[in-house]
């Protein structure tokens, strides 16, 4: 089994994963940019997109952890040259997760008004949030299906075909956003915020169809679930449960950040929407290298190549710091023009510019935290990931947020809290990793 961790091989996995990962926030950024520039109630529409995106991201991150669990198990079996033993696992996992997604739709659709009131949405923002969500959520099962298929591809050390699927979906979404939001005179009426929602759903359906085609055409993994359950299904479910708890903690952070921003007023939630979506974009750019860490660490663990595992982590730390610094510098160079891509409202722009520098400053810390998230997911160490995020959310982020909010720091409170939250996530992972694997090298 090859244990190649050269710069070239890492980038062969990371760059397609990066392109694939960036497509996810671009779907939301496209909605935000186009909606933020409509003539009618642009600020309220942008605020609604931000609130709904936060909630849908929570749902996707809770159930979309299937990708990490499938990737971890498949990559470890690839490393051990025992792939045939878990060939039926991905189909069973996809069946479980898509079934849960349908339950989510049934249980949230009728209560959209109640849900978004919890985010402090009211009046026109609440109305728009309900309309946008009730369309967007229909694409939820297709999104989870695609995410799970991506997990199978990543476990097989393949990030190229997920990239093609993601690029296709993103381009379709952008075109449909423009057409359906603004309309074509005499052909298609302008649908405004509803058009943005329909564009996303159509793109998600097309991505699911392409995922089905490539998995069946390019791999020997079946999509029809066959029972009894695979022997690894118990470990898969335990991973999902730990990642589920972890993601709940993650979304507690995003919920409080969004709710506090909304409580400050429409211009603040609109500014927060722009800033947090750009933060997500940075996170997904780094996700390429986090994915490479995920894919290779699982394979190296399966092969018991511990020395190469340490070398991999050292290389990814260097790459992560470089990427984080580059992201911060690029953001600094386009500091003011980037705001005008999303809105022309002076109040929104002023609120955004006041805090965007914090988003840029935290990028190197984000890259390290996300890369080691990926490594630990590849190793299957979901319990430790869970505990670290519980600590970072409830003992770091929330106390800082409430304290700084009491001092009337507003968006500063949110983004300073997120910065400290990221640092509290990354450092324990680096320390734990080295304490676990350095002795194995020395003893070996």
pTM of the model: 0.80
DSSP 8-state assignment for residue 27: H
- Report whether 309 contacts 386 (CB < 8 A): no
Q: Mean pLDDT, 10 residues at a time, over the chain (444 residues)? A: 73 84 68 71 80 81 81 91 90 90 91 89 88 92 92 91 91 90 82 88 94 93 88 91 88 90 89 87 79 89 90 90 91 90 87 93 91 92 95 97 95 96 95 90 67
- Residue 64's pLDDT is 76
pLDDT attached to residue 153 = 93
Q: Which residues pair with 343 in a beta bridge?
A: none
The pLDDT, as a whole number, for residue 52 is 87
pLDDT at 2: 55
What pLDDT, on the 0 to 100 scale, is given for residue 152?
92
> What pLDDT, on the 0 to 100 scale, is given for residue 8?
85
**192 contacts 234 by C-beta, under 8 angstroms:** no
Distances (CA, A) of 302 to 36, 132, 396: 48, 44, 35
Q: Please report which residue ranges of 156-265 form alpha helices under DSSP H.
A: 160-182, 193-218, 233-264
Q: How far is CA 230 from the centre of its chain?
A: 28
pLDDT of res. 345: 87
C-alpha 110/C-alpha 120 separation (Å) is 18
**Distance (Å, whole) CA 326 – CA 282:** 11
d(CA 433, CA 405): 35
The pLDDT, as a whole number, for residue 63 is 78
- Residues whose CB is less than 8 angstroms from the CB of residue 112 and which lie 6 or more positions away in sequence, other chains included: 129, 130, 133, 134
- Are 215 and 147 spatial neighbours (Cβ–Cβ below 8 Å)? no
If you count DSSP H runs as helices and E runs as strands, how many of each does the chain have, helices first?
18, 0
Tell me how far apart the alpha carbons of residues 49 and 9 are, in angstroms, rounded to a whole number.
Answer: 38
What is the reported pLDDT for 24?
A: 65
User: Can you read off the two tokens belonging to residue 291?
Assistant: 């994915």
Angle at 298 between CA 237 and CA 154, to 5 degrees: 80
Q: What is the rounded (10 degree) CA torsion for 315, 317, 322, 325?
A: 180
Output the 3-class SS for 307-343. HHHHHHHHHHHHHHHHHHHHHHHHHHHCHHHHHHCCC
């Amino acid at each position: 089994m090859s244990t190649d961790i050269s710069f070239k091989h890492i980038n062969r996995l990371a760059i397609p994963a990066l392109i694939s990962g960036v497509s996810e926030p671009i779907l939301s950024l496209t909605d935000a940019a186009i909606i933020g520039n409509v003539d009618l109630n642009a600020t309220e529409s942008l605020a609604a997109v931000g609130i709904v995106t936060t909630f849908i991201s929570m749902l996707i991150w809770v159930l979309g952890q299937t990708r990490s669990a499938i990737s971890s198990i498949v990559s470890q079996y690839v490393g051990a040259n025992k792939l045939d033993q878990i060939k039926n696992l991905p189909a069973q996992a996809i069946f479980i997760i898509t079934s849960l997604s349908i339950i989510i739709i049934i249980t949230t659709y009728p209560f959209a008004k109640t849900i978004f009131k919890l985010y402090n949405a009211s009046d026109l923002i609440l109305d728009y949030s309900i309309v946008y969500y009730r369309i967007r959520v229909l694409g939820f099962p297709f999104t989870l299906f695609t995410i799970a298929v991506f997990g199978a591809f990543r476990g097989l050390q393949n990030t190229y075909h997920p990239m093609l699927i993601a690029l296709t979906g993103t381009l379709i979404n952008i075109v449909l956003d423009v057409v359906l939001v603004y309309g074509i005179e005499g052909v298609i009426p302008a649908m405004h915020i509803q058009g943005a929602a329909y564009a996303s759903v159509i793109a998600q359906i097309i991505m699911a169809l392409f995922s089905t085609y490539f998995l069946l055409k390019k791999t020997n993994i079946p999509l029809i679930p066959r029972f009894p359950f695979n022997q690894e299904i118990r470990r898969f479910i335990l991973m999902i449960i730990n990642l589920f708890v972890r993601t709940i903690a993650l979304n507690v952070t995003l919920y409080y950040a969004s709710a506090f921003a909304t409580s400050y007023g429409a211009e603040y939630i609109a500014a927060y929407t722009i800033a947090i979506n750009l933060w997500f974009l940075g996170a997904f750019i780094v996700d390429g290298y986090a994915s490479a860490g995920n894919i290779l660490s699982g394979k190296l663990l399966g092969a018991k190549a511990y020395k190469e595992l340490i070398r991999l982590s050292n290389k990814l730390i260097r790459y992560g710091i470089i990427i984080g610094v580059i992201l911060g510098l690029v953001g600094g160079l386009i500091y003011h023009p980037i705001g005008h891509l999303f809105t022309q409202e002076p109040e929104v722009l002023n609120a955004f510019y006041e805090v965007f520098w914090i988003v840029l400053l935290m990028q190197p810390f984000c890259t390290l935290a996300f890369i080691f998230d990926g490594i630990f997911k590849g190793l299957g160490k979901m319990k430790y990931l869970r505990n670290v995020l519980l600590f970072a959310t409830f003992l770091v982020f929330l106390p800082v947020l409430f304290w700084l909010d009491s001092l009337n720091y507003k968006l500063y409170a949110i983004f300073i809290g997120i910065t400290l939250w990221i640092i509290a996530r990354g450092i324990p992972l680096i320390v734990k990793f080295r304490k676990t694997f350095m002795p194995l090298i020395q003893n070996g």
